[in-house]
Amino acid sequence: MSPAPPRPGKDLRRHFPIFRHAREPFHFLDNAATGQICDEAAQALLHFETRARANVKRGVYRLADQATAAFDAARASMARYLGETEKNNVVFTSGATAALNIAAHGLARRLGPGDEILLTTLEHHSNIVPWQLTAERQGAVIKAIPVTDEGRLDLDHLDRLVTNETRIIATTHVSNVTGAVTDLGRLRRAADAVGAVLVVDGAQRAPHGPIDIAATGADLYAFSAHKMFAATGAGVLWGKTELLADFEPLLGGGEMIRQVTFEKTTFAPPPHRFEAGTPPIGAVLAMAAAADWLATLDWRAIAEHELGLTARLLDGLQTLPGLRIVGPSGLQGRFGVVSFDIDDIHAHDICQLTDQLEGVALRGGHHCCQPLMHRFATDATARASLAPYNDTDDIDALIRGLDQTIRMLT
């Protein structure tokens, strides 16, 4: 019988080297920017780099064969994390940003002048700028679904926004600013009504447990390893077989070709077509190790734990004078990402002081979501974002730190 999974909070924290090595109180609430690396991922990375290192898909000596087999097994692990049986629908990238760029480049040939790409006001710049680059090249038009005062997508406008010219709908699965979860079912139906492709940025969903990719309705799905407790430098673009097969590669180079002559190059089939050059092998193996470990955790217990912490956080924030929550004030349809501002105190001052006073790591800034900041008439917010290793001590330290900050600066 396998041992019971660690309980969320302090028990789970023991599986993360950074918390074991911390010499002073350390309350990490910047998980939406990057999660801390778990033991499984750290060990996989170290093992590859120090005991098993060889390039993949090239050498024929045993060490190289073993590295290639491990890399293939990592693809199968990531497919399993997505509930997918076809591992070749998993493209390894350097992260969500690279994945979305491959998607935007690959879909370009479906776009002509006047065709429309529908984004949302919640998007991270990684899910805006690649589409703008493609739209400019193809003469296509960008539109955006607005958000409500609660920081959720305002889907009342969907019928007006989706037209016969809509070719692509690209949305985040979970907002990195408001924590709101997108109603992907609605967007899938809207895309189907006009034959559009649905692209989902899963960067903030992937750290919250295995994903049923079929249930998301996505045609393409992107995420980063470093946010799901693995190393920096790797990520995934998952895509439906027929879509990926139709994509031009974004990068050309070694190991993505079938044949090269000076007259013409033919490309390898997906996923290799999109993996030019030496991939981030160690980071990919670490990502797979993290995914396999994450799949063993009790996600029902984690979701309950994080919801409890989010409630404690929202309650605590609402006691502080001058504080405005930018996003849903309730617990329905959200993850534990909470943004806020406090009167005219700058978000960077909030972050510096809560760190100095209570050892709390928060993010302050525009969160690579300037259109969303504009919607809320600000240029920066502070943001606390939760992971399964957070516990009540982190939330209480944050509220204490904010309380002191407000006293000092107002």
Residues that bind ligand PLP (CB under 6 A): 32-33, 95-97, 124, 126-127, 172, 176, 201, 203-204, 224
Q: How far is the CB of 33 from ligand PLP (least distance, A)?
A: 6
Q: Is the dihedral of CA 354, 24, 337, 287 positive or negative?
A: positive
- Of 38, 351, 368, 369, which residue is the catalytic one? 368
Shorter beta-carbon distance to ligand PLP: residue 128 or 314: 128
Q: How far is the CB of 170 from ligand PLP (least distance, A)?
A: 11
Shorter beta-carbon distance to ligand PLP: residue 125 or 189: 125
Query: Which tokens go with 25?
Result: 């109180």
Shorter beta-carbon distance to ligand PLP: residue 225 or 397: 225
Yes or no: say if 14 and 6 are a contact pair by the CB < 8 Å rule. yes
Shorter beta-carbon distance to ligand PLP: residue 198 or 345: 198
End-to-end CA, the chain: 57
Q: How far apart are alpha carbons 84 and 145 in whole angstroms?
A: 30
Q: How far is the CB of 107 from ligand PLP (least distance, A)?
A: 17
Q: How far is the CB of 385 from ligand PLP (least distance, A)?
A: 9
Shorter beta-carbon distance to ligand PLP: residue 180 or 395: 180
Chain Cα centroid distance, residue 162: 25
Q: Does the annotation count 351 as an active-site position?
A: no
Helices 299-318, 392-409: crossing angle, 10 deg rounding: 20
Burial track 42-63 (b if 16+ CB lie within 10 A, e otherwise): bebbebbeeeeebbbbeeeeee
Query: Which tokens go with 160?
Result: 């007006």
Shorter beta-carbon distance to ligand PLP: residue 115 or 201: 201
Shorter beta-carbon distance to ligand PLP: residue 204 or 405: 204
Q: How far is the CB of 327 from ligand PLP (least distance, A)?
A: 14
Beta 220-224 vs 235-239: how paired, if at all?
antiparallel
Q: How far apart are alpha carbons 83 and 215 in whole angstroms?
A: 10
Q: How far is the CB of 126 from ligand PLP (least distance, A)?
A: 4
247 vs 43, 87, 162, 174, 254, CA distance in Å?
A: 35, 17, 24, 26, 18
Q: How far is the CB of 125 from ligand PLP (least distance, A)?
A: 8
Q: How far apart are alpha carbons 17 and 37 in whole angstroms?
A: 7
Yes or no: say if 43 and 17 are a contact pair by the CB < 8 Å rule. no
- Among 91, 84, 103, 95, CA closest to 213: 84
Shorter beta-carbon distance to ligand PLP: residue 56 or 203: 203
Helices 392-409, 347-358: crossing angle, 10 deg rounding: 120
Phi-psi sector, 144: left (phi>0), alpha (psi -120 to 50), beta: beta
Q: How far is the CB of 172 from ligand PLP (least distance, A)?
A: 5
SS3 115: coil
Yes or no: say if 402 and 317 are a contact pair by the CB < 8 Å rule. yes
Catalytic positions: 368
